[in-house]
Amino acid sequence: MSKKTGSGCFSFLAIILISLVCSSFIKVFLSVSSFVAFILTLFFISFLYGRITHKESQKSTWRYVKYSVFFLVFLLGIRFLFQNISNTIQEFQQPQISENIYTEKIYEKGDSIVVLSQNRRWNDNYGNSFQGHFSVREKDYELANEEYFKSHSKYNSGTWGDLYQSLANNDTPRLDLILNQLQEIQSSNSLNQFEFADMVVTFIQDIPYALVFQRACEAPENYEESIRTILEKCPSCCIGNIPHGVQNPVGFMGNLKGDCDTRTVIIYAILSHFGYDVAILNSEYYRHSILGLNIPAKGTYKLHQGKRYYVWETTNKHYTIGTLPDTFDNINHWQIMLTNTLHHGN
């Protein structure tokens, strides 16, 4: 009996090692995180090995699956402790990292230029932590805003899709410092297509919500209850006199003031740059804007010209692709305004 027990332990160690190797391939095909890919592979190989080696006993067939369950509980416990300790250490070591924008000088092509910078640290929807130093050139911030304010009237009779596409086209080249930083994060963490999209969306989700008004911001008591509640808690969470109530992407990265479509536009611009099939959905009924992504996923989607655009809420943290808050989850009230394959609204 002792010999068999020892053999079982060594067999399970081999299963773990094989699962680690195979999970890298599963990760690519299923577009899941490395941890999920490892767990799926571990359970499959455990069941398969038990089935092959213990055909005579149904009970023994599940032995290695039980080992896998215990191992998973152990891993989750270690992971939970490590994340808590790591977060605590980071809080003590980096108390000054905040959402605030500050100016600094950098050298570019031999010249000293002023940039508007932010240090960011956030978690994606699967517990992975990211951090980076994000900047836009001060002159790009000023020029992009100036061009937007001068040309915004030509969209008064156009569609929302026309406006969004114009903002994305005009500002994407000026987001190059941010695009480079996001690509560095992707490379250093070996993120696959799905993980990179989640990293980008949570990067924007993590920025605190702010109202964007076409008119000047007023006192909280002058607004309806939902807006009044936001402004009473955070008087600075508002920016006014913005054309169409939508900030251009460079403007948003220069002041971090953004509501729903300000966020969907910048994510649309970023993911379009990296080759994703992405859409923006608006709802007059809900008075809201969300993202749509044509990528293998699960959950709620909007069918458009034979493609499934899985919805993604961008103003609230922790919302994964395919899920929407109960307050605006009826897909029939959502219309696609723009896809980067058509470049026009519908």
Q: What is the pLDDT of residue 342?
A: 59
Tokens of 93: 């070591």
Band (pLDDT 50/70/90 cuts) for residue 1 is very low
pLDDT of residue 178: 98
Indicate the pLDDT class of residue 2, thresholds 50, 70 and 90. very low
Task: Tell me which of 5-9, 42-46, 287-291, 321-325 is least confident.
Answer: 5-9
Concatenating the DSSP letter of every residue in 297-326 gives --S-EEEETTEEEEEE--SSTTPPTT---G
Q: Assign residue 37 a region: left if phi > 0, alpha if psi is -120 to 50, beta otherwise?
A: alpha
What token pair was written down for 289?
Answer: 């804007």
pLDDT category at 14 given cuts 50, 70, 90 is: confident
Q: Is a pLDDT exceeding 60 seen at residue 4?
A: no
Quick one: pLDDT band at residue 160, thresholds 50, 70, 90? very high
Exposure string over 168-192, b if 16+ CB within 10 A, otherwise e: bebbbebbebbbebbeebbeebebb
In this predicted structure, the answer to whether residue 267 has a pLDDT above a threshold of 90 is yes
Cα–Cα distance measured from residue 342 to residue 304, given in angstroms and rounded to the nearest whole number: 11
pLDDT of residue 89: 44
The pLDDT of residue 344 is 40
Q: Report the percent of the chain where pLDDT is more than 90.
A: 62
User: What's the confidence (pLDDT) of residue 95?
Assistant: 34
- What local confidence, expressed as pLDDT, does residue 96 receive? 33
Q: What DSSP state is assigned to residue 111?
A: E
pLDDT per position as a tens digit, 173-190: 999 999 999 999 999 999
Average pLDDT over residues 126-131: 93
Quote the pLDDT of residue 302: 97
In terms of Cα–Cα distance, which of 116, 110, 145 is closest to 133?
116
In this model, does residue 162 exceed pLDDT 90?
Answer: yes
Strand partners, 105: 114
What stretch of H or E contains 129?
Answer: strand 129-137
Counting residues of the chain whose pLDDT is more than 70, the rounded percentage is 85
- State the DSSP code for 169: H
Q: Which of 53-57, 242-246, 263-267, 273-277 has the lowest mean pLDDT?
A: 53-57
CB atoms within 10 A of CB 248: 28
Q: Is pLDDT at 208 greater than 50 in this prediction? A: yes
pLDDT at 36: 76
Q: What is the pLDDT of residue 54?
A: 65
By DSSP bridging, strand 335-339 and strand 278-283 are antiparallel
| Secondary structure (3-state) at 51 | helix
The whole-number average pLDDT for the span 258-275 is 97
- Per-residue pLDDT tens for 20-60? 777 677 766 666 667 777 778 777 777 777 777 766 655 55
Amino acid 83: pLDDT? 55
Name the residue type at position 240.
G
Here the tokens at position 177 are: 């410092």
The Cβ of residue 263 has, within 10 Å, a number of other Cβ atoms equal to: 26
Tell the residue number behind the tokens 């980067």, with chain if given: 340
Neighbours of 134 (CB within 10 A): 20
As a whole number, the mean pLDDT across the chain is 85
* pLDDT of 75: 77
The DSSP output letter for 243 is G
Among residues 235, 273, 237, which one has the least CA distance to residue 255?
237
Q: Please answer whether residues 221 and 228 qualify as being in contact, where contact means their C-beta atoms are separated by less than 8 angstroms.
A: yes
Is the pLDDT confidence value at 346 over 90? no
